[in-house]
Amino acid sequence: MNKRVNLFDVERVREDFPILRETVNGHPLVYLDNAATTQKPQAVIDAIVHYYSHDNSNVHRGAHTLAARATEKFEGARTKVAEFLNAPSTQQILWTRGTTEGVNLVASSWGRSNLKAGDRVLVSAMEHHSNIVPWQMAAAATGASVEAIPVDETGTLDMTALNILLDERVKMVSLGHVSNALGTVNPIEDVIALAHKFGARVLIDGAQAVSHWPVDVQALGCDFYVFSAHKLFGPTGIGVLYGKRELLEAMPPWQGGGEMIERVSFEGTTYNQLPYKFEAGTPDIAGAIALGAAIDYLNQMDRTAAAAHEQAVLEYAQEQASAEQGIRLVGTATQKVSVMSFLVEGTHPNDLGFLLDQQGVAVRTGHHCAQPIMEQYCIPGTVRASFSFYNTMAEVDRLFAALRKAREFF
């Protein structure tokens, strides 16, 4: 797409995503699994193909033209990410394999260096497992504890409980910007400000947020922010960790190998400067370049109009769900992104997902790697329809027509 989209034209935008023209089981694809991964515009696909067709080389140390071109595009993508997040410096942008690795890096490097027996880490009860298990592992190694910030029946974070939980023993608050299972938008600005009053650090899992609106890490004031490219219309296998410089400087390397060193000898090794200190080995060069292409794609779009369209699609879907007998919405917070989790009376989510797929409708079923919140609701999981800016009202109609047909089997 070359021209800036000023008034959001969803049919025009859909032309940029080749997979949306697929048929599944004899039906036009209705892709409603965007919280798991977003689809890729042709510009991102082209960036990957172009790199491997014309620029394929390792980066940084090569003395030849291909290495120079690959390095320029690779580091250019880091600059695009820094600008996308409004980070103060590209040195504070670290490449990872995704959100999960970003949290693990912080939990392992910062956590094992700073946590000790008696310290506490707070996470919300609606967190993805990737923002629970790494902290449990760090706590087991250091004697710290991991505790949950309660969530009410609507899926809203209990800020009163957070106020009670916070004290000087809390060293880290690690929280999702948006719940992948419920769609809840957490009040992270308030959480960050409150946690900092007690001297705690704050990590924000932005995997479910960055595709919906611009993020400004300096305005937020968070200590760490992580996200994955594949949820931002980019490729799988590449992600980003932003951190405050003073914290990253003090943290020890997480992995050892090439690139992360300054000098190696058998007498001792000195480490590279930021961000390379945390980037051992050959990186996902094509993935980084393609993430840069995804950011370029988003930057030429009217994101405010895109977000308004997404919200309208969500509201239309929720209205239809509320009008249907036997459908229970799970996650009804006032502040939500375009995620609709639900149950249908008399059916199991997995069976329903299979029957929807037979009609070309792709949704996610199960616990969505958020078992603690499912246990709180006393349910095994949900059906989750998650929308992006390329989804339409007509696709919502297809979803509910497919649901009605599927219910005939129960």
Positions marked active-site: 369
Taken in order 79, 83, 88, 92, the sign of the CA dihedral is negative
The residue written with tokens 């299972």 in the block is 181
The answer to whether 60 and 244 have CB atoms below 8 angstroms apart is no
Neighbours of 279 (CB within 10 A): 21
- C-alpha distance from residue 350 to each of 130, 219, 284, 302, 380 (Å): 23, 41, 34, 36, 10
The answer to whether 348 and 381 have CB atoms below 8 angstroms apart is no
Q: What are phi and psi of 153, to 5 degrees?
A: -65, -20
- DSSP E strands in 80-200: the ranges are 93-96, 120-124, 145-149, 170-176
The answer to whether 66 and 397 have CB atoms below 8 angstroms apart is no
9 Cβ contact partners less than 8 Å away, ≥ 6 residues apart:
none
Alpha-carbon distance 359 to 338, whole Å?
A: 22
Closest Cα partner for 9 from 294, 306, 233?
A: 306
Alpha-carbon distance 385 to 79, whole Å?
A: 34
